[in-house]
A and B are shown apart, each in its own frame.
Chain A
Amino acid sequence: MSPLPVDVVSPMVEELYTELRRLANLYLRRERARSVQATELVHEAYLRLLKDKHPQWQNRTHFLAIAAISMRRLLVERARARSAAKRGGPQVQVTLEDGLLTTDAQSLDLVALDRALADLSRLDPHQARIVELRFFGGLTVEETAEAIGLSPATVKRHWTIAKAWLMRELQTGSRA
Chain B
Amino acid sequence: MTTMPPDRWADASSVFHAALERPPRDRAAFLDEACADDATLRDEVRSLLAFHEQADAFLDTPAIDLTREGQQVGPYRLVREVGQGGMGVVYLAEDTRLGRMVAFKALPAAWAGDPARRDRLRHEARAAAMLSHPGVATIYALEEIEGQLYLVSEFVRGETLREELQHGPLPLPVVIGTGLGLAEALAAAHDRGVVHRDLKPENVLRTTDGRVKIVDFGVAGLGPSPEIRPSSGTPAYMSPEQRHGGRVDYRSDLYALGIVLHELASGTHPFASSQVRVPLDVPAPYTAALDAIIARCLANDPADRYQFTHDVAADLAALVPRPGAGAARLTPAAPEPPAAVSSAIWWWQFHQMIISAGYGVLLYCLWLTRPWAISPMGQSLFFVALVGALAAIILRGHLWFTLRSFPDDWFGQRQRVGIWIRLADTTLGAAALVAGIMYGAEHPRAATLLVGSAVAVLVAFAIVEPATTRAAARQLGPPSR
A binds B: yes
A interface list, Cβ under 8 A from B? 37-40, 42-43, 47, 58-60, 63, 71, 75, 100-105, 108, 110, 119, 122-124, 131, 134-138, 157, 160-161, 163-169, 171-173, 176
A48–B199 CA distance with the chains assembled, in angstroms: 42
Contact residues in B for A119 (Cβ distance below 8 Å)? 2
Residues of the A chain whose Cβ atoms lie less than 8 Å from the Cβ of B147: 58-60
Contacts of B59 in A (CB 8 A): 131, 134-135, 163, 166
Which of B48-56, B186-194, B228-236, B334-342 lines the interface with chain A? B48-56
Give Cα A36–Cα B343 distance, bound, in whole angstroms. Answer: 66
- Once A39-B68, A122-B6 are accepted as A-B contacts, the answer to whether A164 and B51 lie under 8 Å apart by CB is yes
How far apart sit A59 and B113, CA to CA, in the bound complex (Å)?
A: 13
In the assembled complex, which residues on chain B have CB atoms less than 8 Å from the CB atom of A104?
57, 60-61
Q: Are A161 and B16 in contact (CB under 8 A)?
A: yes
Q: Which of A40, A124, A134, A164 contacts B62 (CB 8 A)?
A: A134
A165-B51 contact, Cβ under 8 Å, with A59-B147, A60-B147, A123-B9: yes
Q: How far is the CA of A100 from the CA of B66 in the complex (A)?
A: 10
A153 to B141, CA, bound (A): 36
> Contact check: which of B1, B17, B61, B63 meets A169 at CB < 8 Å?
B1
B55-A167 in contact (CB<8A): yes
| A138 in contact with B66 (CB, 8 Å) | yes
Across the interface, do B70 and A165 meet the contact criterion of CB distance under 8 Å? no
B13 CB–A CB distance under 8 Å: yes
Known contacts A47-B72, A137-B62; decide if A171 and B51 are in contact (CB<8 Å).
yes
Contact assessment for A100 and B52 in the assembled complex, using a CB-CB cutoff below 8 Å: no
- Interface majority SS (helix, strand, loop, mixed), chain B: loop
Known: A59-B147, A160-B52. A37 touches B70 (CB 8 A): yes
* 10 A-B contacts (beta carbon < 8 Å): A39-B64, A39-B67, A75-B64, A122-B2, A138-B63, A138-B64, A138-B66, A163-B58, A163-B59, A169-B1
Q: Which residues of B contact A157 (CB under 8 A)?
A: 13, 17
Give the CA-CA distance A131 to B60 in the complex, in Å.
Answer: 10
Which single residue of chain B is at the shortest CB-CB distance from A172?
B1
Q: Render B1-20 as a binary contact track against A, CB cut-off 8 A, 1 for contact.
A: 11010100110010011001
Tell me the complex Cα distance, A164–B54, Å: 8
A71's partner among B64, B70, B146, B148 (CB-CB below 8 A) is: B64
Q: Whole-angstrom distance between the alpha carbons of A167 and B71 in the complex?
A: 32
Instruction: Tell me whether A58 and B146 are in contact (CB under 8 A).
Output: yes
Are B6 and A43 neighbours in the complex by a CB distance under 8 Å?
no
- The docked-state distance in angstroms from the alpha carbon of A123 to that of B16 is 15
The 8 A-B pairs of least Cβ separation, nearest first, read: A38-B64, A138-B62, A138-B66, A164-B52, A105-B63, A167-B55, A60-B146, A104-B61
Once bound together, how far apart are the Cα atoms of A29 and B59, in whole Å?
30
Q: Which residues of B contact A169 (CB under 8 A)?
A: 1
Chain B residues in contact with chain A, CB under 8 A?
A: 1-2, 4, 6, 9-10, 13, 16-17, 20, 47-49, 51-52, 54-55, 57-72, 146-148
Distance between Cα atoms of A58 and B6 in the complex (Å): 36
Q: How far is the CA of A137 from the CA of B61 in the complex (A)?
A: 11
Name the A residues within 8 Å of B146 (CB-CB). 58-60, 63
Assuming the A-B contacts A71-B64, A105-B63, A138-B62, are A160 and B70 also in contact, with contact meaning beta carbons closer than 8 angstroms in the complex? no
Q: Are B68 and A160 touching (Cβ within 8 A)?
A: no
| Residues from chain A with Cβ under 8 Å of B69 in the complex | 39
Q: B58 to chain A: which residues have CB within 8 Å?
A: 163, 166-167
Give Cα distance in the complex from A132 to B64, angstroms: 12
In the complex, the answer to whether B4 meets A38 with C-beta atoms within 8 Å is no
| Residues A136 and B63 in contact, CB atoms below 8 Å apart | yes
| Neighbour of A168 across the interface among B6, B48, B67, CB < 8 A | B48
Contact B4 A123 (CB under 8 A): yes
Contact partners of B60 in chain A: CB under 8 A:
104
Decide: B51 and A38 in contact? CB cutoff 8 A. no
B148→A167 contact, CB < 8 A: no
Quick check: A42 and B72 within 8 Å, CB to CB?
no
A165–B48 touching, CB < 8 Å: yes
Residue from the set B2, B9, B59, B61 with the largest chain A CB neighbour count within 10 Å: B59
- The CB with the most chain A CB atoms within 10 A, among B2, B9, B55, is that of B55
> Which residues of chain A are near B47, meaning CB under 8 Å?
168
A123 to chain B: closest residue by CB: B9
A47 proximity list for chain B (CB < 8 A): 72
Q: Chain B nearest CB: distance from A52 CB in Å?
A: 16
Alpha-carbon gap, A172 to B3, bound state (A): 12
Tell me, in angstroms, the Cα distance from A58 to B17 when the chains sit together: 37
Give the distance to chain B from A12, nearest Cβ to Cβ, in Å.
Answer: 16
Seed contacts A39-B69, A43-B72; 14 additional CB < 8 Å A-B pairs:
A47-B72, A75-B64, A102-B64, A104-B57, A123-B6, A124-B6, A134-B62, A136-B64, A138-B64, A161-B13, A161-B48, A161-B52, A164-B49, A164-B55
Bound together, the chains give a CA A20 to CA B71 distance in angstroms of: 16
Contact present for B1 and A173 (CB under 8 Å)? yes
Q: Are B61 and A168 in contact (CB under 8 A)?
A: no
Instruction: List, in ascending order, chain A residues with CB within 8 A of B13's CB.
Output: 124, 157, 161
- Would B48 and A38 count as touching, CB distance under 8 A? no
Residue among A71, A101, A108, A165 with the highest chain B CB neighbour number at 10 A: A165
> Across the interface, do B16 and A39 meet the contact criterion of CB distance under 8 Å?
no
Please determine whether A167 and B51 come into contact, CB atoms closer than 8 angstroms: yes
Contact A39 to B17, CB < 8 A, known contacts A59-B146, A165-B48: no
Chain A residue contacts of B1, Cβ below 8 A:
169, 172-173, 176
